[in-house]
């Protein structure tokens, strides 16, 4: 079988940061899967202005198999191909901003180049699956041919803050995919209930996140910026967003001056991050490429998930939970956010004081985390098996 993947994240972002997101992990797992012959990644359209402003103007390396104005079909390896399309619709991109992407996916030249690339690679309708992981690319799917379409919805974008300008576009695209996609996936039961009641997709199933066990089971040297910090190290590896409970985190820092609190990852909500404040036992070590990330996680003594509870959630299933557990460190998190399903492996706190008490001992008395069904390979196999049932 062959797979056409429409990832949410730009391929250049994946190159710059490493395969740390759900869509990037699935790309890697499907590329390795023994039942998959070819993987075509349709990179999202971009303009020169976007590359300049986001400082992502790096080349996509590989052999160019097809080159037309704006578009390139690039061979990454014997199994992996990517279409990279530069649009010169700069004015509309600047005008409509994020709304522009759904229009750009449906643009005549963009669609035509994708169809030529599919033909060039010999991807037939009877042996090829379209896996859409980008809600903004919904208008493109039906224009690629009659291949079966699966939609990995992962999070619920309608419940994410800061996307109010996209609400109409998102709703339209979810409605479109509810009619077109044979199978939906998402990462939480909360999302299943919402999508089922709101859009009524034909089939929707739970496909939780996974982990690369081989990456987090290795023994790494202690990174230079961790070396010398007072033990135990209580670490958080992930994005600081509206979900991060800075009040809880600050409480833990202040109550535990004998511990080093280390944070690595992107700061997406500066107000939340700034509210943590300065403390002698708090260390923000910046963002890390995913190739380096595991060396930090495996050298934490305790991994924490200090997330807020309630209305700010949009269907939680944090990848970092699986990464902490695979690394074999003690894990403590707030209740809900998807971790309640892993109570036999980690510690779940319902209050600030419970959280404080749970990080007093480094040793975990929970069951060891098992590989079965939690690897990205197992998740990819589930998608492959669903396709073969058609």
Reduced 3-state DSSP string for 4-29: EEECCCCHHHHHHHCCCCHHHHHHHH
Token pair of 95 as six digits: 């005008």
Residues 7 and 83 in one domain: yes
Residues 204 and 256 in one domain: no
At 260, the pLDDT band (50, 70, 90 cuts) reads: very high
Task: Give the CA angle between residues 100, 106, 109 to the nearest 5°.
Answer: 105
Q: Is 339 helix (H, G, I), strand (E, B) or coil?
A: helix
Can you tell me the distance from the alpha carbon of 24 to that of 76, in angstroms, rounded to the nearest whole number?
15
Within-domain flag for 370? no
Within-domain flag for 371? no
Q: Is 295 helix (H, G, I), strand (E, B) or coil?
A: helix
The mean pLDDT value of the chain amounts to 93
Instruction: State which residues form the domain around 240.
Output: 213-358
Residues 205 and 339 in one domain: no
Average pLDDT over residues 323-329: 95
Residues 245 and 331 in one domain: yes
Cβ contact 248:355 at 8 Å = yes
Residues 218 and 194 in one domain: no
Least confident span in 104-108, 299-303, 333-337: 333-337
CATH number of domain containing 353 = 3.40.50.2000
Helix extents (H) in the chain? 11-17, 22-32, 48-53, 90-96, 100-105, 108-121, 138-141, 167-180, 189-198, 213-216, 246-255, 270-274, 290-297, 319-327, 352-358, 376-388
Average pLDDT over residues 283-302: 97
Contacts of 278 (CB under 8 A, 6+ apart): none
Can you tell me the distance from the alpha carbon of 193 to that of 190, in angstroms, rounded to the nearest whole number?
5
Cβ contact 337:318 at 8 Å = yes
Residues 337 and 274 in one domain: yes
Tens-digit pLDDT profile for residues 170-221: 999 999 999 999 999 999 998 999 999 999 999 999 999 999 999 999 999 9
Average pLDDT over residues 47-68: 84
At 337, the pLDDT band (50, 70, 90 cuts) reads: low
Find the helix or strand (DSSP H, E) in which 242 lies.
none
* Of 205, 211, 188, 154, the residue nearest 339 (C-alpha): 188
Tens-digit pLDDT profile for residues 79-112: 999 999 999 999 889 888 889 999 999 999 999 9
Residues 381 and 330 in one domain: no
* Of 3, 6, 16, the residue nearest 289 (C-alpha): 16
Q: How many domains does the chain have?
A: 2
């Amino acid at each position: 079988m062959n797979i056409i993947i429409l990832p949410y994240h730009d391929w250049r972002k994946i190159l710059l940061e490493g395969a740390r997101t759900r869509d990037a992990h699935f790309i890697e797992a499907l590329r390795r899967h023994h039942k998959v012959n070819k993987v075509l990644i349709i990179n999202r359209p971009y303009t020169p202005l976007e590359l300049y402003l986001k400082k992502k103007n790096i080349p996509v390396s590989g052999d160019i198999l097809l080159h037309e104005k704006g578009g390139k079909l690039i061979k990454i390896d014997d199994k992996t191909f990517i279409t990279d399309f530069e649009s010169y619709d700069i004015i509309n991109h600047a005008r409509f901003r994020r709304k522009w992407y759904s229009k750009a996916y449906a643009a005549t030249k963009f669609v035509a180049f994708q169809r030529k690339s599919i033909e060039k690679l010999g991807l037939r309708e009877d042996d090829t699956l379209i896996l859409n992981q980008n809600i903004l690319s919904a208008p493109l799917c039906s224009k690629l041919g009659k291949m079966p379409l699966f939609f990995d919805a992962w999070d619920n974008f309608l419940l994410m803050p800061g996307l109010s300008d996209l609400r109409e576009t998102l709703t339209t695209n979810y409605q479109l995919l509810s009619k077109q996609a044979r199978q939906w996936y998402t990462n939480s039961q909360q999302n299943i209930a919402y999508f089922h009641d709101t859009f009524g997709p034909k089939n929707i199933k739970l496909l939780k996140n996974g982990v690369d066990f081989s990456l987090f089971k290795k023994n790494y040297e202690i990174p230079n910026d961790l070396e010398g910090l007072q033990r135990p190290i209580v670490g958080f590896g992930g994005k600081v967003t509206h979900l991060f409970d800075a009040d809880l985190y600050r409480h833990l820092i202040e109550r535990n001056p004998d511990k080093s609190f280390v944070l690595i990852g992107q700061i997406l909500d500066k107000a939340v991050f700034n509210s943590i404040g300065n403390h002698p036992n708090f260390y923000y070590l910046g963002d890390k490429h995913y190739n380096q990330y595991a060396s930090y996680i495996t050298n934490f003594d305790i991994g924490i998930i200090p997330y807020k509870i309630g209305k700010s959630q949009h269907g939680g299933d944090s990848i970092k939970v699986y990464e902490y557990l695979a690394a074999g460190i003690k894990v403590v998190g707030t209740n809900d956010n998807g971790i309640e399903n892993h109570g036999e492996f980690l510690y779940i706190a319902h209050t600030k004081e419970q959280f404080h008490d749970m990080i007093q001992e480094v040793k975990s008395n929970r069951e060891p985390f098992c590989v079965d069904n939690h690897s990205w390979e197992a998740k990819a196999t589930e998608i492959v098996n669903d396709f073969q049932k058609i």
